[in-house]
Structures are given as C-alpha cells and as structure tokens.
Amino acid sequence: MNNALVEKTKELPHRPGVYIYKNSDDEVIYVGKAKDLKNRVGSYFMENLDPSSKTFALVSKIDSFSIIEVTSEFEALLLETSLIKKYRPKYNIIMKDDKSYLYIVIRNEKVSYENDVAVVPKIATERESNIQKKDKVYGPYPDSSTAKYILRTLRKIIPFRDCNITKFNRYKYLGRPCLYGHMGLCSAPCIHKDYLAEYKKGINRIRKILSGESRKLVQNFKKEMDKNAKLFNFEEAARYRDLLNRFAYITQGFKTAQTYLENPYFTEDIANKALDDLSVLIPNLKPPLSRIECYDISNISGKDAVGSMVVATKGKIDKSQYRRFRIKFKDTPDDFGMLSEVLKRRLNRSLNESVKNKWTLPDLIILDGGKGQVSAGLEILKEANLNLPVVGIAKKFETVVYIKDGKFQEVIPGKESEGLKLIQRLRDEAHRFAQSYHHKLRLKIISR
C-alpha cells in the first residue's frame, strides 16, 4: 500500500467529480466517477482488499492520481465518459470484463401510418458492434448503469420511445399506448401521429443536451414561456414553465465535459469568483468567507415544522455540513418565531461550553426572505452578543437585502453574478433540504 497516496486521499473533498489513476510511466490506467470523491477514492486504498481481486491488481499499479471536481453527479458521468473516450484506460476495460463500451444512439426509423410512411426517431443504448451507419452516437459510457441513468433522467423531462418496430406496430394496431406511454415516459407516437412534429422537437432537445448545448435550450424555453404568457396562451406558457422546473436537475450549474477538460480547476475558479463578487456586492463583509450558512423553514399551517441549515465552505456547497432541525416550541404559523428557534439552537452549538464537537461560527448568514427575516436574524445575534453579517434574498427580483450603518440596503445583482448564483444555490438547497425533511415527517405520521 502506497502510504503517500493514502495520505493524499485524506485531503480529498466530499464533492462529486472524476478521479484519474496513473502508473509509474505516467500513463492513465483508470478513470472513475464519484458522488463523493473522498469516500470513493479512499475505498480503493483499504488494507483488506482481496489480493486475487481486479481492484487489488489495479491499486498495485497506481503510482499517482488526480481529481477533477464538478458541480453535480450528472456532470461527473459525462466527464468520466469523455475521459475514457480520450485515454481508453486499460483497467476500465478489465474491470468491466472486457465488454465493449455502451453508447447512446438516436436512430431514425421509418414506420407506416395507414397509407403514409413517416420517420419516428427512437433513443436506445447499443454496443459498438450494433451501431448503424446513420445513427447519431453519444458516448462511449463505461457501463450500462451510467448510460441508463442518463436516459432515465432525461426521459422524466422529455419523453421518448425506445421500442422496436414490432412493438411500435402492435400498440399502433391496438390504438393505445404501452406502459411507458401511460406513465408519461413516452409521448406515444405510435398512436399520436398528429403530434409527430412536437415529438421530433423533443428528440432534438435531447440531442442538444447530450451534445452539451443545454444552456441555449433553457434560454429558448424561457423565451417560449414569456412569449406565450404575453399572448395570453397561459396553458402553453405553463407547459414551458413546468418543463423548465423539471429540467432544473440537469441544467442547474450544468457544464459540459469540455469545460472541465479545458480547465480542471473550473469549480475552484468559480468558487473564488463567487466569494469575490459577494465581497463587492455586500460591502460590510469581512473576507475570507470560509463558511457561509443559509436557513429555511418548511411547514403546513405550523404543523410538523422543520428548519434546515445548508453550508458553503470556501465558496462550494458542502453537504457534509448540512443540518436539520425539528421545530419544538411552535405549532402555529409563525415563520419568524420558527427561524428564531432554529438560529438559537444552532448558535448554542458554537457558544455553549458544555457542547461537545462545537460547530464553527459562520462568516455570513443567508436567510430566505427580505427585511423581516433579516431583522429577526439580527435580533437573535444581538441576544447572543454576536456581530455576524446577515443577508436575505427576496424572491421578487432576487433582491439581496442587508443592513449597513443601521439602514436597510437592497441590491439587485446582475444575473451573471457568481455571488448571486451562490446565494441562489444555497437558498434553493435550503428549501429542498427543509422540504424533504418535512415530507419525511409527514409520511411517518400518515403511516402510523
């Protein structure tokens, strides 16, 4: 076991990304993805590996490794694919039992509609030997689970067919869709020929996502939503709105593999830019902003209320530091009172001498809301004799609110501000984390 490599794994972040192993000849021998780089890479260097295993054979050849941090697990999947395609590492083949790589293909197929023939694209996964000349090909992907994960994610956003011609014709004859059609995972072109043009638009959108053109796609969705709203086509505008919301998982912070290949330190650069932007945006901040905390409350009429705390460390989302709070002293609607309870309990974990494993105090507190939330937060800090900066983010116009020299200040940053994007990510994460805990508690109560 290489002790130097073991020590290096201890310094890795709990972040999604890709790891690259090299041998003593500086040759890339393995590329892998990770939801948590520290845990995943560290697992390779355990002392109890089976000497007869493929993993042991791989580890014995590792002389050095590097990582590339990304902002989501989806990005890690795409970057891993690009690096495998670039380097063709020996052990990526060996670890997969020498199977050929899997590809995602978009294939145009001719089908019959009564007296008419039309082209209806389908999307599927194929091995290299089964790819046809006119297929649009994306990949290779290192294993079937990776490619299928990507397609499952995309299919929830933009339905598509993956069936063969025989199945297509069977359901066309029956005049009803298959199970995927009933579930909304396929728009059923077998029985909806009139919607074939719209179906093809969806396929084209998927092609753009797989080609790394998702940002333009999102901009087009927003334009269509606004255009339809102005024309009072509210049903169509709502459809684009829902599409944008469902699309958020992939598009939030989405970067192409090429972005990371050109600059492996991209996430580091963005984090530093965000912190610099915040220092300019909010003049009373005192750098360095090592720890930023954001809070949100979730409840239904005050019942089963919960609070969440999400954290950014050195400008990066740090899920290992997330905490959640079940509201104990309020069971009526009072967001300010609930927020005050959460902040008091959180600060107690830093200030109470009897508390073990104390939490580090934040350099900045972000609250979901405007002047009322900021005032409530500052009041709790005053009671604790603490002078920490507090800002709110009001949903209307995404206004950043803070107090300077005793007066409220309101700033509407530019949409391209990395500082604003960091605040928004924290706000959205706090909301998601609080809601998921609230839903969990509600389900427990309902199932009793």
DSSP readout, 413-424?
--TT-HHHHHHH
Residue-level pLDDT at 249: 47
Residue-level pLDDT at 29: 95
444 CB-contact burial (10 Å; exposed 0-12 / middle 13-18 / buried 19+): exposed
Q: Side chain identity at 408, as an amino acid letter?
A: F
Q: Report the C-alpha gap between 135 and 123 in whole angstroms.
A: 10
Q: Report the C-alpha gap between 358 and 161 in whole angstroms.
A: 53
Q: Report the C-alpha gap between 103 and 63 in whole angstroms.
A: 31
> Which residue matches tokens 């941090």?
69
> Contact 85/77 with Cβ under 8 angstroms?
no
> Contact 349/361 with Cβ under 8 angstroms?
no
> Contact 82/257 with Cβ under 8 angstroms?
yes
Q: Which residues contact 362 (CB under 8 A, 6 or more apart)?
A: 291, 292, 293, 311, 388
What angle, 0 to 180 degrees and rounded to 10, lies between the N-to-C axes of helices 144-157 and 73-87? 140
Residue-level pLDDT at 268: 92
Q: Report the C-alpha gap between 6 and 254 in whole angstroms.
A: 31
- Which parts of 352-387 fold into alpha helices (H)? 371-383
| Residue 146: count of CB within 10 angstroms of its CB | 23
Please give the angle made by the CA atoms of 329, 333 and 335, to the nearest 5 degrees.
80
Residue-level pLDDT at 115: 80
Residue-level pLDDT at 147: 76
> Which residue matches tokens 């972000």?
366
Q: Output the tens digit of pLDDT for each of the chain's 448 residues.
A: 678 899 999 999 988 999 999 999 999 999 999 989 999 999 998 777 888 888 889 999 999 999 999 988 878 877 888 898 889 898 887 665 445 567 889 999 999 888 889 999 999 988 888 899 999 988 766 666 767 777 887 888 889 999 999 999 999 999 999 999 999 899 999 998 888 999 999 999 888 877 766 666 667 777 888 888 888 888 888 777 766 665 554 444 457 678 888 899 999 999 999 999 999 999 888 888 999 999 988 865 556 688 899 999 999 989 889 999 988 765 555 778 888 999 999 999 999 888 888 899 999 999 988 899 999 999 999 999 999 999 999 877 889 999 988 899 999 988 889 999 999 989 988 888 887 766 666 555 544 4
Token pair for 394: 């009001």
